[in-house]
Every structure is written in structure tokens, then in C-alpha cells.
Amino acid sequence: MNGCASKTIRAIDKESVHRICSGQVVLNLATAVKELVENSLDAGATIIEIRLKDFGSELIEVTDNGCGVEPENFEGLTLKHHTSKLEDFSDLMTVETFGFRGEALSSLCALSDISVITRHQSSSCGTHLIFDRNGIISSKASVARQVGTTVSLQNIFHSLPVRQKEFHRNLKKEFGKMTQLLNAYCLISTGVRITCINQTKKGSRSTIIATQGCKSVRENIASVFGSKQLSSLLEITSEKESNV
């Protein structure tokens, strides 16, 4: 058998490319939650609630009280490289948001069953949107909700069977990584109340993280790690001289 047999080089079909690339953007549970939390922070949210079922294997849901999504932006919300955070490359010099590439929600569409409930501050009611794996709206309905957004992910990594099997095999380990990353956002997000709740298959609920929306990083440290841990830290202040 000739291992060097000639094979035709051809383009990978677009759907396969989308699935492969999406798996590089969203690597694990921690990345999925990170992307949704960053969207909430970029929307100016002061309350962010993360709800998981069975450590994220059944459901990952992030709810916020941010500004919401305007109806004219529904179509582009989950399309690849669609974003409201920059218009051209030069904007990268002044970007002040976590997200700007327009990849996260598009990738999550390819990797999970995604739905969004949102109400913009200029709208009188909310809208429930369901997207297909290509980020196209498959269902839209009016619903009652306060200003803000809820993104729900079910059956994550279903389009990558090996990745999903590995995720389910290491659920608690992946959950621990997610919690560790979420703690970092709790520390730096002053004035934002962040909670994370996990519900087991049997229905019991446990609060994993609960911050109070403190106004300083110092207070956030006490909220996340406790006042005893805070007292053991040394505060360092530095100033940077401008050469301009």
C-alpha cells in the first residue's frame, strides 16, 4: 500500500469549517461562560446571574440587566464577525470592550442549542429568539421581561462528539476551572453583582459564587475570598509617568 498516494487538494465545506473553527474559539465550559459574562459586562450590566444544570452539561444560562439588544441588531447578533464594538481595524487602538471580534455567539451557535431573550431599553417588551447552528434566527416571539438579556445554551459541544464526551467525563474538573476563571471577573468587576448557581440532576441547588456589587477591588477580594484573606494582603500603589 502506497502511503504517499496522491490525493486532490480541495476546499473544506463551509459548514465543517464553521464547526472546526468554533471549537477553537470556545474550548471548554470556562470559555463559554467567560464569553457570555464579558458580553454582559460590555452591555453595562450591574447584575449578572449564571445558572448551570448538572455542572453545565444540560444548561448554561447567563442573565443580566444590561442595555439589551436593539431589534435591528437581532439578525447580526450571532453571525460570524458581526459586532457593534468596532467598524474597522483602526478602532482596535481605542476599543474599551472585552469582545470585538464577533466570534463568540457565532461559535456557540455551532456548538450548542442557543436561545436569547432580550429587551432593549428603548423597547416596550422583550423578544425570544432561537438560532440555528449557522446563527440564523429560526424562531422569534414577543415575551415579557425587564430590560436586559438572557442567553441559554443547551447540549453544548453536541456538534463535536469527542469534545462533548470528554467534557462529560470531566464535568467537575471543568466546572472547577470555570469557577476559578469566574472568580477573576468577580474581583475586577466593581459595582457588579455576580452570582453562580448549579442545579444537580436531582434538583438540588447550590450557590457557588455570590458577590455584592462592591465599589472597589479591595471589597471584592473580601467578598470572594473572605476578610481573613484580605487582611493578609499588602496593598501596593504605583504611578506611571507619561512621556507624552
DSSP H or E run through 131: strand 126-131
Rg of the chain over CA atoms, in angstroms? Answer: 20
The Cα 179–Cα 150 span in angstroms is 20
* Pairing label, strands 193-199, 47-53: parallel
Scanning the chain, the segments in alpha helix (DSSP H) are 14-25, 29-42, 104-111, 161-169, 171-188, 217-225, 227-231
Mean predicted confidence (pLDDT) in 88-114: 71
Q: What is the pLDDT of residues 16-53, one digit of tens each?
A: 554 555 444 466 999 999 999 999 999 999 999 999 99
Name the strands in the sheet holding 113-119, side by side, starting at the edge strand that comes first in the sequence.
Answer: 137-143, 126-131, 113-119, 148-154, 59-64, 47-53, 193-199, 205-210
**What pLDDT, on the 0 to 100 scale, is given for residue 30?**
92
What homologous superfamily is domain 14-231 in, according to CATH? Histidine kinase-like ATPase, C-terminal domain (3.30.565.10)
Lowest mean pLDDT among 20-29, 50-59, 154-163: 20-29
For position 4, what pLDDT does the model report?
Answer: 60
Yes or no: say if 29 and 56 are a contact pair by the CB < 8 Å rule: yes
56 CB-near residues (< 8 Å, 6+ apart): 29, 32, 33, 156, 171, 174, 175, 178
| Domain boundaries along the sequence of the chain | 14-231
Look over the chain and give the mean of its residue pLDDT values, rounded to a whole number: 84
Res 124 pLDDT > 80 = yes
pTM above 0.85, yes or no: no
Q: In angstroms, rounded to a whole number, what is the distance separating the alpha carbons of residues 227 and 202?
A: 34
